[in-house]
Amino acid sequence: MRCALVLLLLAACGTRASSHRAKGVSAGGGAAADTTPADTTPPRARAGMLVARTVANRGELNGQWRPQAGVCASPPSFQLLAQGDSVDVLLLLNLPQGTAASGTYAVQAPQDTAPQGRTARIGAQEMRSADLAYQGISGTVQLERLDRLAAGRFDVTLQETPSHRQIRYLGVFDAVPVETLDVAACRLAQPDTALPAVRRQPA
């Protein structure tokens, strides 16, 4: 895996779906407040793909990619890396020892120094007119399968750097082939070696 070439803004280590909001008209003729609930339906899964979108559907991180996935023995971890023309996404799970990997993982904020258990990190990089980075600060990842194939979904809040704007991000991955990662790739899972952000330069 070319993990060293992608943004890893994890502090431990699209298809564009449209969401139309109806706007009413107030008695005075002005636009009424929008009371349509946000669409929090997860994207539709595709075999061998990571599909993700923002709840606000601004489109900056929306897409589908054929990711690379792998596991590390030490520290026990799972990495899912998607690299696109304009967006990179990396998901890292700290796997529990001595029990099944499937289950719910809480996204650990970058500044959280509590002992790591069943936790997750997620980061993204957008390379368009500006090089923007996004870091997971809350949410959950549901790992449904991890053997020769991986499957799961996430509902997380990302914080943009440097603006601190927050974005809710939904994703699903299904039937993604899993490999055993080498030592260099597994270093990304170690908090003391992955604090700096590693950026892939725009083409």
Helix (H) or strand (E) holding 184, with range, is: helix 183-186
Torsions phi, psi for 116 (to 5 deg): -80, 130
Tens digit of each residue's pLDDT (9 = 90 or more) over 22-81: 333 334 444 454 556 678 888 999 999 999 999 976 677 999 999 999 999 988 999 999
pTM of the model: 0.76
CA atoms within a 13 Å half-sphere pointing along the CA-CB vector of 77: 26
Tens digit of each residue's pLDDT (9 = 90 or more) over 111-157: 776 666 899 999 999 887 667 899 999 999 999 999 999 999 999 99
